[in-house]
């Protein structure tokens, strides 16, 4: 039996409110939407999206009125001390349950690293397993540089986007091939009923920073927006991919404003989900402020929102989960908080590239408290994310 009902939401809310109030960051008051059961209509980028995709979109909105889903990148593929063990999860090793959100990277099955390989099959298996349990799948793409041949962080040439957008160019042909591979992969992903599996796709994430070839030192605002639209149009209209929810994810490590979240915004008709990658360190005040801001933008745009990446590399704080994640995220209409990966290090205990809990970590007990909160959603206590939420219309 799930233990999450043990902890009273009232006491947690009081603690969270008291902590937030001391930092001048009170929970948001109810706003327009369906918090009180009013009907609401959401607009999705793909008007031909599958019924399951529209249903997922509706539930991303409504679950944020109750709490938020916990997610972890690559949680089902590998963990700190294991690799490719079916059914294994660092999260499950600690709390007995899987994350509500499974995050992964599509780049290696798209770009010049592509081969029809074991790693592609592992990704396929993990996606199918997550969907069979009713979990939510979100994917980024750390694509190599299609012009220079470098990696995602090769920002040495300012003409990459320009070349992709030049009809008939070799770079455009290569980039289109990468999108073709993605379309072939995702349209082969079907659930046990034969329905296409919906995926929240966040291309060109962290587009507001300087280090990637699609970032703000290599692309003008117009080039980035045109590249974003080109990618959506190609996948949706040319390749017939109708299972994507398109998420934007600016980098928000410091305290930001609403205008910062909308910097290089591709347009309301080309964005479904407002995310943020927030590596604020051990600064719950910054995290809380940015969560409050993204929630405001979400309500203004009528688009669900969430933290698409966060964490502190190699953290050892015993109270990390309740202090750094739960309290800042309380009462913010946020549908998910996704931690970055726990790198597989095997016996190399000196490699501290991990961002979430694992068996033997100092924060294990606090993570159980976090798990038991009525505000956090893991696999076992998710609502049916693939049937339309009540009082929500998606068109």
Residue pLDDT, tens place only, 21-58: 333 344 443 344 555 568 999 999 999 999 999 999 99
**pLDDT-based confidence at residue 119 (cuts at 50, 70, 90):** confident
Q: What is the mean pLDDT of residues 269-297?
A: 98
pLDDT tens digits, 297-348: 999 999 999 999 999 999 999 999 999 999 999 999 999 999 999 999 988 8
Q: What is the mean pLDDT of residues 205-230?
A: 97
Of 80 and 116, the structure prediction assigns the larger pLDDT to 80
Stated pTM of the model: 0.92
C-alpha pair distances (Å), 1 with each of 6, 313, 370, 380: 11, 33, 17, 10
What is the per-residue pLDDT for 204? Answer: 98
Residue ranges covered by each domain of the chain: 4-394
Of 349 and 71, the structure prediction assigns the larger pLDDT to 71
Q: What is the mean pLDDT of residues 165-187?
A: 98
Rounded-to-integer distance, Cα 8 and Cα 394, Å: 33
What is the per-residue pLDDT for 5? Answer: 43
What is the per-residue pLDDT for 20? Answer: 40
CB 329 within 8 A of CB 305: no
- Asked if residue 83 has pLDDT above 60, the reply is yes
C-alpha pair distances (Å), 365 with each of 7, 19, 319, 380: 14, 20, 8, 19
Task: Give the CATH fold of the 4-394 domain.
Answer: TIM Barrel (3.20.20)
36: which 2 tokens? 């009180």
Provide the sign of the torsion angle of the four alpha carbons 105, 192, 136, 92, taken in this order.
negative
Of 16 and 280, the structure prediction assigns the larger pLDDT to 280
- Asked if residue 4 has pLDDT above 90, the reply is no
CB 283 within 8 A of CB 311: no
Share of the chain above pLDDT 90, in %: 88
pLDDT tens digits, 220-254: 999 999 999 999 999 999 999 999 999 999 999 99
Closest alpha carbon to 80 in 66, 91, 70, 65: 91
Q: What is the mean pLDDT of the chain?
A: 92
């Amino acid at each position: 039996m799930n233990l999450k009902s043990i902890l009273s939401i009232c006491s947690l809310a009081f603690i969270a409110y008291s902590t937030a109030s001391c930092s001048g960051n009170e929970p948001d008051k109810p706003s327009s939407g369906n918090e009180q059961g009013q009907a609401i209509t959401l607009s999705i980028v793909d008007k031909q999206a599958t019924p399951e995709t529209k249903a997922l979109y509706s539930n991303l909105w409504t679950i944020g009125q109750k709490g938020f889903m916990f997610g972890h990148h690559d949680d089902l593929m590998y963990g700190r001390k294991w690799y490719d063990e079916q059914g294994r999860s660092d999260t499950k090793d600690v709390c007995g349950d899987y994350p509500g959100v499974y995050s992964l990277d599509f780049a290696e099955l798209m770009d010049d690293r592509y081969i029809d390989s074991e790693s592609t099959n592992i990704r396929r298996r993990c996606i199918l397993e997550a969907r069979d349990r009713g979990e939510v799948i979100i994917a980024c793409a750390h694509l190599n540089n299609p012009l220079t041949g470098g990696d995602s962080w090769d920002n040495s040439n300012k003409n990459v986007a320009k070349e992709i957008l030049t009809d008939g160019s070799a770079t455009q042909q290569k980039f289109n091939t990468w999108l073709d591979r993605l379309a072939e992969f995702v349209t082969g992903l079907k659930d046990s009923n034969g329905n296409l599996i919906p995926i929240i796709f966040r291309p060109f994430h962290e587009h507001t920073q300087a280090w990637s070839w699609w970032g703000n030192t290599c692309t003008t605002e117009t080039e980035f927006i045109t590249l974003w639209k080109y990618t959506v149009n190609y996948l949706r209209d040319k390749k017939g991919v109708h299972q994507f929810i398109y998420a934007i994810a600016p980098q928000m490590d410091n305290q930001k404003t609403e205008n910062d979240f909308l910097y290089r915004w591709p347009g309301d008709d080309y964005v479904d989900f407002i995310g943020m990658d927030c590596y604020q360190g051990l600064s719950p005040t910054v995290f809380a402020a940015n969560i409050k801001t993204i929630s405001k933008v979400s309500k203004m745009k009528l688009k669900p929102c969430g933290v698409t990446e966060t964490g502190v590399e190699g953290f050892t704080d015993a109270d990390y989960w309740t202090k750094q994640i739960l309290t800042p995220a309380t009462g913010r209409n946020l549908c998910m908080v996704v931690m970055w990966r726990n790198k597989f290090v095997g016996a190399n205990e000196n490699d501290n590239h991990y961002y979430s809990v694992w068996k033997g970590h100092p924060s294990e007990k606090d993570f159980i408290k976090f798990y038991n909160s009525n505000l956090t959603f893991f696999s076992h206590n998710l609502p049916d994310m693939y049937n339309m939420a009540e009082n929500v219309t998606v068109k």
